[in-house]
A and B are shown apart, each in its own frame.
Chain A
Amino acid sequence: MSGAIIDLSKEAPPAAITTEICVIGSGCGGATAARLLAEAGHEVVVLEEGRDLKGPERTQRDAPMYDQIYMDRGGRASHDLSVTVLQGRVLGGGGVINTCDVVPIPEGVLHHWATKYGLEDFAPQRFKRFHDDALADLSASHIPDSMVNAANNKVRQGAEALGLRGEVMMHNRVGCRGLGTCMLGCPIFAKRNPRMVALPKAIDAGARIFTRARAVKVGKSGEDIKEVTVRTLDPGGYHEQRELKVRAKVVIIAANAIASAQLLLRSGVGNAQVGRNLILQPQLPIIGLFEERIAAFDGIPQSYAVTEFEEEDNAEFGLWGYRIEGIMGTPGIVATLLPFSGVAGMQNMARYDRMAPSLLLAPDAPSGRVQVARDGRLTIHYEQRDDHKKRLRDAVRVASKVYLESGATQVLVPSVPPLIIGSSGPGKLGQRLSFAPATAPLISAHQQGTVRFATSERDGGADLNGQVYGTRDVYVFDSSGFPSSAASHTMTPIIASSRMLTTKLLTRL
């Protein structure tokens, strides 16, 4: 039996749908689980709040794409606007909006999780096969040197001149033509997964995938039956229209670390740990400014990383330190990150084609919390810790050396007020880069940890099977479960862990 993608903004839904398994979220975790379960012969329904954007609809334009493929139309942020929170809202989820970075969970982190948190299934040897399968799902390969774009090559040149360790990254593109707008959704579908692998396989195996379907509550309907309340959305995804119920024996929530916790909290499901231990892993942009035209908007936007200062086996935190990764964005998104307004803003954006930006990525310890008010409004509380600020300042010092070594005339840290670094270096940064709320354009693309996997209810929100404590057969199969930062990029960790958790679930069904 073949399944289908059903757009509920266009087709009137039935009042109720009954299925064996309901998966909420169609990103890396949800699509992987749906595929494996459907292939094993189980009846699967997937609910996705976004819709399936066809090639021509992926216009490579900032305003319509942020509106359509990001949560809150790209406006999601932490409570005090310190951190912009990027989260996909499209069929395929984060796998559609990311920059295709394939980074498995480092062995040091797996060991850390197994020993410090008791997550034995993540012990390196036991977890290896799931990693291997995830890499196969992704058609993972090293980015060819010829496709490292100009901004990334500037980072590489500078790092190599300074003798810093770095690497051309792995990715999950097949047939990439270097169109440069990965973060706005690839118009030629060169990203292999989850939209182009797991979801088609799930459909082939009979899964029914409902788009423009927002899950708003998980409740009970009888002893062993869960009932998910779903509201359909209009074609633009702005307004709720109708309500239906999806009844299932098993509910798997994989809607991202923010939305999964939000759904559980709205539903009153789970223990007091749900929503806690949020990891945002905020990244700080920095920009090398060159005399010559860089034209970094062409080619793969993120392809080279300086890894010299990244620790993979920190005794207390697992992944620690920081890395520097080249990046580029379309004009609109770059302009939103710049601290200038008025004439200065115009003068700086006039240098757009001479910019070589990068992101300073420092893992953080759990220091945030997802909360939901009585009226359902979401709050993402996040306090940036001093050790995170310090590592970002260290990264600014190194990145500015890297850029100046590769020929930049200036380096811009887009804080308010702007920090412009010339040939004399950055000097003391403490006062000038305070990270006071709403002064630095911190970005979170790797939210984790709000329903932590734990060996006891006291320490987390879900057990080692991903089953939410206090429930029977309600699971989280996404980055919500990670007890510390899994990796610098979370696509591969989420797919691998969803594979592991689904494999375990299959033995119990």
Chain B
Amino acid sequence: MGETGNEESARDGLFSFLSRRRFLKVSLAAGGAILGVGGGGLLALRGRAPPVDGLRVLDAHEYRTVQSLVEVMLPKTDAIPIDAASMDLPRAFDAFLADEPEHNVKDFQKALVLIEFGPLVFEHKLTTFSRLAVPDRAAHWQEWAVSDNLLRRQVSMAMRKFFNLVYFDHEQVWPYIGYPGPSMKRLGRVEP
């Protein structure tokens, strides 16, 4: 009989494709950009993120990256004039991660690093995701979905799945998509 895995090893998740080896491979294969800038340079490029209270997993930088991402993934539009910032989706993700196995949390954090330094790694621009102007950031993020690089597509798909699920589960959004809400509420108590 073999050994049992460690705690919660039976669970996996959306980011399990992002092994450490793959992450390093992609980062290095993306050119000498990161190496050229160096560790200190990367920190300077990222700058300081405003502090955020009450986070369980994410740090302030990661929170800012997620916030920047949500801003371009779920923008306020004429079709759905809801400001996603009012939902604090990064905090919802923080709460989600707090109940995920450690290896999934690590995978997600790697994905966030890749997103934040995406402009540098994939486009060789001396800036970060959060520092891009919104139109430039939106254009940059669109490239992830259609990229020839499988890892970028995977990160894009995983982010889209999580944030779309949570965002469109919000009651505020439903009037703009023609959804009247859960049928039990509309119909009152329904007995079988």
Contacts and interface: CB of A to CB of B under 8 A. Distances in A.
A72 B12 contact: yes
Interface stretch (B23-31, B59-67, B159-167): B159-167
A346 B80 contact: yes
Contact of A372 (B5, B168, B173, B179): B5
A214 B2 CA distance: 17
Interface in B118-146: 138, 141-142, 145-146
Contacts of A66: 165
A235 B35 CA distance: 46
Given A81-B157, A332-B169, A417-B146, A266 B164 contact: no
A352 B72 contact: no
A342 B141 contact: yes
B1 interface: yes
A261 to B, nearest CB: 12
A77 B14 contact: yes
Contacts of B100: 238
Contact of A80 (B77, B79, B154, B169): B154
Contacts of A267: 1-2
Interface in A283-340: 293, 295, 297-298, 330-336, 338-339
Best-buried of A63, A66, A330, A341 by chain B (most CB within 10 Å): A341
A144 interface: no
Contact of B145 (A238, A335, A353, A416): A416
B53 interface: no
Nearest to A49: B10
A347 B17 contact: no
A349 interface: yes
A16 interface: no
Given A331-B177, A437-B153, A377 B16 contact: yes
Interface in B69-128: 72-75, 77, 79-80, 96, 99-100, 103
Contacts of B4: 216-217, 229, 266, 376
B190 A177 contact: yes
B166 A341 contact: no
A298 B183 contact: yes
Nearest to B150: A437
Contacts of B43: none
Nearest to B141: A341
A66 B165 CA distance: 9
A99 to B, nearest CB: 16
B97 to A, nearest CB: 11
Contact of B7 (A177, A240, A338): A240
A85 to B, nearest CB: 10
Interface string A354-382: 10000000000000000010111111000
Nearest to B176: A350
A255 B157 CA distance: 28
Contacts of B1: 217, 219-220, 267-269
A148 B165 CA distance: 26
Contacts of B177: 331, 349-353
Contacts of A379: 16
A61 interface: yes
B178 interface: yes
A428 interface: no
A352 B178 CA distance: 7
Nearest to A184: B182
Nearest to A293: B178
A60 interface: yes
Interface stretch (A4-12, A135-143, A185-193, A457-465): A185-193
A342 B10 contact: no
A180 interface: yes
A508 B100 CA distance: 43
B44 interface: no
B6 A61 contact: no
20 contacts: A62-B165, A72-B11, A73-B96, A74-B165, A75-B13, A75-B162, A77-B14, A77-B16, A77-B17, A175-B192, A187-B190, A217-B1, A217-B4, A293-B178, A331-B169, A331-B177, A342-B142, A351-B177, A377-B16, A417-B145
6 tightest CB-CB pairs across the interface, nearest first?
A376-B5, A353-B178, A376-B9, A268-B2, A60-B182, A175-B192
